[in-house]
Chain A
Amino acid sequence: MKEKRIGTIDDGALTLPQMLARQAAVLGKNFTAIREKAYGIWHAYTWEEYFRYARITTMGLAALGLRHGENVILILNNHPEWLFTEIGAQSLGAVTMNVFTSATPDELQASIQRTQAALVIVQDQEQVDKLLEIKNNIKHVRKVIYVDPTGMRSYRDLEWLQAYADLLRVGEELDCEDPGIFNRELNKGKPKDIALMIQTSGTTGMPKLAMLSHRSMTAIGKQWTEAISLQAGENWLSISPPAWIVDQMWGFGVSLYSGMTMNFPETHETVTEDFREIGPAVIITASRFWEDLASKIRVKMADAGWIKRRLFHWAEKTGRAVIEKQSAGEAADWHEKILHRLAAKLVYEPLLDRIGCSRFRNAYTGGHPVSPDVIRFFQAIGMNLKQCYGLTEAGGIFQVQPDQQVKPETVGKPLPGVEIMLDADQEVMVKSDSLFSGYYRDFQTTEKAFHNGWLRTGDAGYLDQDGHLIIIGRKEDIIKNKSGQAFSPDFIETRLKFSPYVKEEVTFGESRPFITAMVNIDMENVGNWAEERLIPFTTYLDLSQQQAVEDLICNEIREINKQLPDLMKIRKFLLLYKLLDADDEELTRTGKVRRRFIYGLYLQLIESMYRDMTQVETKGKLRYRDGRVGEITTKVNILAV
């Protein structure tokens, strides 16, 4: 497909559905807007087809009486229907909010009640079942529209439900009757109107609903398109959940502005394969994705034959040496350059191709700060992995590391059109066209979030000599120990998580004499490690309490302690008997640790680490997938490093 740079559209004056109409006119049949893998092959939709679907979806929703200013909840996976329904609702001036498909019925009820949603659009039977469970508490929902009809035969008599295929049919009929309605509704939209809401991840307390206008989304689209010169027809693989800002920003802001193609994988399990087939040009995912990938590569390499293993270590070392010189601003020696090129041919390129990363122009990691070691690792093997930083309230990601300026510790510079500033408390503040319009029905918090037109990010940071921003951590998370010295738990945790054997880790030490940690082992990697050494184990609980595993983790912590200043060294730790889980509210749905909640939940264990104890008996709760709560009684060892 030919590629063509799209001239800047009269940005800022259009709503998202109007942008789509514009792209359909400009790019029409010549470019692919959406690609989806179904029944084993990729199906493509041009911009014209995308617009057509959006149009009849709009009409179908209009037939259900959806009006300007009403709210629509979407509980969808990454499929084209997500784009069609969201933009369809926005065309009528309704406000959309995506919820995670993994949400429990109670969480759904809270979101739906809070927004007083008129319609709910869901993926499949699983979600319908959850809604039927809470039906009596959400009477304001007029209709539930389900996308996937699989297994829905026995639900046919329920009038509350409607299939999306039927909605399209009704929409088409209405559009034939009166084709003027759509254009009238489309033209009514103003860029300042609220387009969508996003639940902020809520590491502290109840999630807030950030309202983003059409203007915010188009502004972020423009900033990205210009910053890394995105072209129409370049590929984006939609893998992060639609309830998260990243895919909202890309699917509506960036893709509509630049004409990039949105690609949807077949299922969640086939992502790796689909990823390889598409070879996306840009990717932004959570730090956990890269951490997992790095540890997977390392573990696979440790299992490889002698020759491959040696070759890999040599290539990684060569890469690191060159990257280090580059980031210090020096030129590499001629022999290093030759070795580096040789390593690329022999190791990096085949490896990157194997994991589907050979066509990346840019790869970003966001969400939780990633260990600088992970970034160095990927750069050493020739992938342009960079950190970026942003938040929902700012319309998405606004701070990225520029090319050629490799600095693993920083989150780089602002995108064009974005300004940042630090206040007296070192809090990072940002100003841009893409800032959010406020929290839904929460004037007080909205007031607090702004300061003279600047948005307070809540993160503490500082600028280095080149103007790169370095984030220390959440301002409220920076803790002081007993003697009043400040430290950031994030800082310690991200370093420890680079160990392939550590899945998750929480450190404590507020007003305490020393730092302690609660560790989740990585079941897959530690399991393999144990198997190799013929250590028998059954469950996670069993494996985590094995003497050999304790020694293994203890050594890992010792290694990390060497890199940390005295103040931040971990003195004692324990291996938790269960994995921290979003279902137990210990993690947010985006995978961030809810530190204070965990502190309250495991207070007994944490207290024991500050006493002279080596073992503690404890009772814990486990929530199963079906919502039942089980109890677990076990002994946990407390280990000194």
Chain B
Amino acid sequence: MKTYRGQPAIFAARQEKDRYAELEIRELSLNFGGVRALANIDLKVGNGELFAVIGPNGAGKTSLMNCITGFYKPKSGHIIFNTRDITRMHAHNLVKVGIGRTFQNIELFPGMTVLANMILARHLYCRYTFPGAGLYLPAVRREEVRHRRLIEELIDFLEIQAIRNKNVASLPYGLMKRVELGRALALEPRLLVRKIWFGLSRRSMKSGDRPSSSLNMTWLLS
């Protein structure tokens, strides 16, 4: 029943300590050959904040995001997340630390359905073993159902029920963005680094707004 909806359990049920996020960047520099992309960047994102980085094309917003999420290795400086230095960590390990992201150009699997794309994010939290999954033991089944339920709550939250079984490739751009956000949320990140493209319509900006105000998370927008 709609009555019992609201915040997806994935976020509502989380303890304060499990969602604590503090990001600090100290004197971060990045070079591409002779081009200086980032020069001595200092910034601090506090717990529960919504922090936006804005600037014209080529200002280095995306480079900064890519450094934080482990896609680029900075030349010098430090990135500290919850008192831990993550400057040299690999992207897949950063997800475990609690940093999720979306991309400017959508990075979904176009040949897979929306549901499959989203449930893939839960891979990180799957506890079962390969033989167990092969036999589809009751415990595996229970866990699959739990993950599916969490994903379904996100689908409901993002209002994408009508497309859950559609191939991602067949969707319009705005919906793909929403699916990508859904996948990032399914990672249960403490900090979500999100690329917003401001060429979007007012309406899609508005619908993008809602998650930021109603989920217990720290946001970094660029």
Contact = CB atoms under 8 A, between A and B. Distances in A.
Interface stretch (B18-26, B47-55, B81-89, B156-164): B156-164
Contacts of A39: 149, 152-153, 155-156
B213 interface: yes
A227 interface: no
B153 A154 contact: no
B127 interface: no
Given A39-B156, A40-B152, A270-B161, A168 B214 contact: no
Interface string B1-28: 1111110000000000000000000000
Nearest to A36: B1
A267 to B, nearest CB: 5
A288 interface: no
B210 interface: yes
Given A39-B156, A267-B161, A147 B3 contact: yes
Contacts of B149: 39
Contacts of A38: 1-2, 156
A81 B2 contact: yes
Nearest to A154: B213
Contact of B2 (A147, A151, A270, A273): A147
Contacts of A43: 1
B162 A151 contact: no
Contact of B3 (A81, A154, A270): A81
Contacts of A36: 1
B211 to A, nearest CB: 10
Contacts of A164: 3
A40 B214 CA distance: 23
Contacts of A267: 159, 161-162
B3 A165 contact: yes
For chain A, give the interface size range.
20 to 34
Contacts of A270: 161-162
A148 B3 contact: yes
Nearest to A34: B1
Contact of A269 (B4, B152, B162, B165): B162
A266 interface: yes
B217 to A, nearest CB: 14
Nearest to A40: B152
A149 B6 CA distance: 5
Given A267-B159, A267-B161, A267-B162, A151 B214 contact: yes
A451 interface: no
Interface string A147-160: 11111111000000
Interface string B135-168: 0000000000000110011011101011011000
A55 to B, nearest CB: 16
A40 B3 CA distance: 16
Interface string A399-416: 000000000000000000
A151 B3 contact: no
Interface in A31-51: 36, 38-40, 43
Given A39-B156, A40-B152, A270-B161, A150 B6 contact: yes
A36 B156 CA distance: 14
B3 A168 contact: yes
A225 B58 CA distance: 70
B161 A266 contact: yes
B163 to A, nearest CB: 8
Given A149-B6, A153-B214, A154-B213, A81 B161 contact: no
A153 B6 CA distance: 9
Nearest to B152: A39
Interface in A141-190: 147-154, 163-165, 168
A575 B4 CA distance: 48
A36 B152 CA distance: 15
A451 to B, nearest CB: 45
A150 B162 contact: no
A80 interface: yes
A150 B5 contact: yes
A636 to B, nearest CB: 29
Nearest to A265: B161
A80 B162 contact: no
Contacts of B5: 148-150
A79 interface: yes
A81 B1 contact: yes
Interface in A20-39: 36, 38-39
B96 to A, nearest CB: 27
Interface string A115-129: 000000001100000
A269 B160 CA distance: 9
A80 B1 contact: yes
Nearest to A53: B1
A43 B164 CA distance: 18
B200 to A, nearest CB: 18
B159 to A, nearest CB: 7
Contacts of A40: 148, 152, 155, 161, 164
B93 to A, nearest CB: 32
Interface in B158-190: 159, 161-162, 164-165
Interface in A491-524: none
B6 to A, nearest CB: 4
A86 B42 CA distance: 59
Count chain A CB atoms within 10 A of each CB in B3, B152, B210 and give the residue with the most.
B3
Contact of A150 (B152, B157, B164): B157
B152 A151 contact: no
Closest 10 pairs between A and B when the two form their complex, measured CB to CB: A269-B162, A39-B152, A149-B6, A148-B2, A40-B152, A164-B3, A270-B162, A165-B3, A267-B161, A147-B2
8 contacts: A40-B155, A81-B2, A151-B214, A165-B4, A266-B161, A267-B162, A270-B162, A273-B165
